[in-house]
Amino acid sequence: MKNDRRSFLKKGGSLAAALSAGGIAVYGASVGGEKPISSSAPVKDSAPEKVKWPLLEGPDTPKLTLNSSPNASVDRMRMIKQIGADHVLMSGPPLPWTESTLRAIMDRFRAEGLTVINMMINGYPNTLYGREGRDAEIEKIQASLRAAGAAGLPVVEYNFYAHRLTEGYYDIEGRGGSGYLGYDYNRKNPGTGVAPKDLPPKPEEGAHTKEELWGYLTYFLKAVIPVAEKAGVRMALHPNDPPAPVSRGSEQIMASFKDWKRLIDTVDSPSNGMTFDCGVSTEIGEDALEVLRYLASRDRINHVHYRNCLVEIPSTKYVEVFPDQGQVNMFAIMQELVRKKYRFGLFPEHPRGLDFDKTHPGGGDFAGYLYNQAYARAMLQAVLTVEKGTA
């Protein structure tokens, strides 16, 4: 998503008030978050001395992953490696992918100690809208999946948006002047006076009903999932983010837990899976842990986005915060992933805006990602310590 996380606007209202140092816990509890643990509560020692550190990723644990680009510099790859990520994800090359092209990309990263675990596939508008030319696009995707399997790429991620209603995002000033990302479906744009929910369809996209889009997605899945399965590749569909009910005249088809269940039932294969996003799961008003358990019990989690949020109105008004501030019990999510032996990528995404990144523009959101990565690493090691001590 393209958002300017470096320009921060002070916002009033209940969300901004909740994000004050004293308001986080109260706000989280008021919208379904767990009550904070009292500092005087007894702490049980569940880490026996027999557990030996360091505890790192193994064959059956999540793989901490950061984003990159196929043509990343060696310096950038070294930065990723230095902060503890051994795996990377990225957008893939133009369609159709070839084995030689993928191997060249993956080998560059492997030379710096990094494994490419996930590539995003793009460039199929006719497929999205059921237009003439979709069969030719699907043939390119099928060829790309075969190339991914031959090159050893385990996961291919994709989206299926009629329109992504990013027009509802706005900046909120957070702790210490950091940047949070708010979302409000009903908030009128200060410049145009139009709320995101009232924006008209774009001519190049049109307006589509839910069942229309489901028909297009079903056609796609039945054509590509058998190819992915034969190639040994897992596909991961990211849920609608933001999960707005209607996006420029088109209904969303990946914006509810019911939709996600329908997706994995459409073609019964582990290759027909999802990106489990604990942030989106919470934003739509679901218990992220229950969503995780449902998808994991069916072996349909093929990628993970690990982030936190505070929700005021499910699906339409929420704010993305630091991972330690939101409603999601991040320890419980990590613990369940470890217990279910989830073994693919875990991306601690959506870094908050930090002053360091504003004054070091060449590094992108590096300091923000560093914070998220360190938080995820600590959670993973804490969970592995507990699980090894109680196994």
Say if 16 falls within a structural domain.
no
SS3 90: strand
pLDDT of residue 50: 78
Say if 158 falls within a structural domain.
yes
C-alpha 57/C-alpha 98 separation (Å) is 30
Say if 186 falls within a structural domain.
yes
Instruction: Tell me the two tokens of residue 117.
Output: 């675990």
Nearest to 84 by CA among 379, 383, 388, 385: 379
3-state helix, strand, coil in the chain (%, to 5): 40, 15, 45
State yes or no: cis peptide before 314, omega within 30 of 0: no
pLDDT of residue 49: 61
Say if 23 falls within a structural domain.
no
SS3 312: strand
Instruction: Tell me the two tokens of residue 193.
Output: 């006076």
pLDDT of residue 24: 44
The number of distinct structural domains making up the chain is 1
Say if 77 falls within a structural domain.
yes
Using the structure block, give the residue that is written with the tokens 């008021």.
30
Say if 30 falls within a structural domain.
no
Q: Within a 10 A sphere around the Cβ of 207, how many other Cβ atoms?
A: 16
Which CATH number belongs to the domain containing residue 75 in this structure? 3.20.20.150
End-to-end CA distance of the chain: 40
pLDDT of residue 3: 42
Task: Write the CA distances from 215 to 76, 212, 259, integer angstroms.
Answer: 41, 5, 13
Q: Give the single-character DSSP code of 250.
A: E
Kindly give, in sequence order, each residue whose CB lies less than 8 Å from that of residue 82, ignoring residues fewer than 6 positions away: none
Question: Tens digit of pLDDT per residue, the chain (391 long)?
Answer: 444 433 433 444 455 445 544 344 434 444 444 444 444 444 555 545 678 888 989 999 999 999 999 999 999 999 999 999 999 999 999 999 999 999 999 999 999 999 999 999 999 999 999 999 999 999 999 999 999 999 999 999 999 999 999 999 999 999 999 999 999 999 999 999 999 999 999 999 999 999 999 999 999 999 999 999 999 999 999 999 999 999 999 999 999 999 999 999 999 999 999 999 999 999 999 999 999 999 999 999 999 999 999 999 999 999 999 999 999 999 999 999 999 999 999 999 999 999 999 998 777 799 999 999 999 999 999 999 999 876 5
Instruction: Tell me the two tokens of residue 74.
Output: 């060696």
Surface-to-core class of residue 86, CB atoms within 10 Å of its CB (0-12 exposed, 13-18 middle, 19+ buried) = middle
pLDDT of residue 389: 79
Handedness of CA 137, 138, 141, 146 (dihedral sign): negative
Say if 12 falls within a structural domain.
no
Say if 234 falls within a structural domain.
yes
Range of the domain at 56: 50-390
Do strands 155-158 and 234-237 pair parallel, antiparallel, or not at all (unpaired)? parallel
